[in-house]
Amino acid sequence: MLLRLPGEVEMNIRSVADRLGISAGRLERMLGRIVRSSDWPEPRLLRFDKAISGIEAGTVVFEDGEIAYGYPKIRRAMMLDPAIRRHFSGGVLVEEKMNGHNVRVARVGGKTIALTRGGFVCPYSTEVAEGQIPSGVFDDHPAIVLCGEMVGPKNPYVPKDVYSADSMDFILFDVSRKGKRDMEGSKAAHAIAEEYGVKAVRLFGEFTAEKAAGEIREIVEDLGSRGREGVVIKDPENLNSPMKYTSSESNCRDLEFAFRYYNDYGQDFFFSRVVREGFQAAEWSDGAAEFDARCLRLGRSMLMPMRETVEAKISGIEIAQEVEILVRDLQTAADFEEHYRRMGVRAVFDPPRTAPGGHLVKIRRVVMSTNDKTRSVLEGQLW
């Protein structure tokens, strides 16, 4: 049973299904619905659009039949202390949670590629990964999948100035292998990072489950005050799934960004962040001044950007998300534009400007719904 991929590539459905642990008939029925094929950019692949039968969303089957499983969702602690005590027994490792976009980097057909969370080959992330990850990792471990975060001011998905990166850096936080569902954990990732000189997430240390919540509170408060996101809590022996926990400042910065485009975001985005703050205030028993500061921060993170959006629109300015990428190769910018188009993102790419390190390209994403809603309210439309 052969599947003809676009571009005359054939794939043996039965053997792929076998390796995925599902029946060939089931995989066939998924094709074109849950499983989509892609012939651009290279390599050709099948991509799982949704999670199914224990196969993570974003799982990819390359044309050579190799599989890169999707990176599993890390669940969130709402109350640190009970969550840690419930999920871990001995000690826990605490690592910094980076604020960028999750990629998996692997060597396929002799080339390094970076896959997004959803299983798309991102041309820009791929260029960054090629430049930053020494090829020796893949020479020695051809099946390795490096899981990390792309962070920095030139990250077009999540631009952040708080990292030392000039443009966009790859920061390793876990490793896996092609064909394997499981992650190898923090220790394996740091060992690889050290051996090959790959940047890796900061490891704050190992704490007992009893003491961890107190230590993490201090770490997270410090991270928050420096504009960083939060932590991921892992089992040292990699026996339990990790969990994440974020700073109040990070929750509020999410809101600040989203309320600028208030009508283009899901309401659960807003709600979940407010609820996190409520639990954190309760767990950390905020004093009166701290609690007022938290309330003011939360209120301001919603009203300030929304007010600015309305005021901008009153002044006749169109609401848009502006980001910038820095590419070494002009072709990468062209490919990234095509990548956006295929993902259904509507954006305008400015002509590249030469800059130290390559070419800068400004990208403007129009936020249609917020523009339309704000205009209609300013024209007196009722809610």
Q: Does 306 bind its own copies (CB under 8 A)?
A: yes
Instruction: Report yes or no: 283 and 80 within 8 Å, Cβ to Cβ.
Output: yes
Sheet holding 111-116, edge to edge: 111-116, 101-108, 144-151, 169-177
Q: Does 86 bind its own copies (CB under 8 A)?
A: yes
> Segment near its own copies (CB under 8 A), from 53-61, 116-124, 287-295, 358-366?
287-295
Instruction: Report yes or no: 46 and 28 within 8 Å, Cβ to Cβ.
Output: no
Residue from 13, 24, 36, 87 touching its own copies (CB under 8 A): that is 87
Q: Does 318 bind its own copies (CB under 8 A)?
A: no
Nearer residue to its own copies within complex by CB, 191 or 314 = 314
DSSP string, 34-57: TEEEE-SSSSPEEEESS-BTTBPT
Residue from 243, 333, 361, 363 touching its own copies (CB under 8 A): that is 243
Q: How many CB atoms lie within 10 A of CB 181?
A: 16
Q: Does 84 bind its own copies (CB under 8 A)?
A: yes
Give least dist CB 92 to its own copies, A.
Answer: 13
d(CA 54, CA 56): 6
Q: Does 333 bind its own copies (CB under 8 A)?
A: no
Residue from 141, 297, 328, 362 touching its own copies (CB under 8 A): that is 297
Site for its own copies in 256-275 (CB under 8 A): 259, 262, 267-268, 270-272, 274-275
**Which of 240, 150, 245 lies closest to 199, judged by CA?**
150
Residue 116's SS3 state is strand
Q: Does 317 bind its own copies (CB under 8 A)?
A: no
> Segment near its own copies (CB under 8 A), from 19-27, 105-113, 284-292, 344-352?
284-292
Cα 22 to Cα 3, 5, 118: the distances in Å are 16, 20, 20
Contact string 54-83 vs its own copies (x = CB under 8 A)? ---------------------xxxxx--xx
Q: Does 300 bind its own copies (CB under 8 A)?
A: yes
Residue 114's SS3 state is strand
Nearer residue to its own copies within complex by CB, 164 or 267 = 267
Give least dist CB 361 to its own copies, A.
Answer: 32
d(CA 210, CA 219): 16
**Which of 227, 374, 381 lies closest to 307, judged by CA?**
374
Site for its own copies in 342-381 (CB under 8 A): 377-381
d(CA 260, CA 307): 8
Residues of this chain that interact with its own copies (CB under 8 A) are 75-79, 82-87, 243, 259, 262, 267-268, 270-272, 274-275, 277-279, 281-282, 286, 291-292, 294-300, 302-304, 306-307, 309-311, 314, 377-383
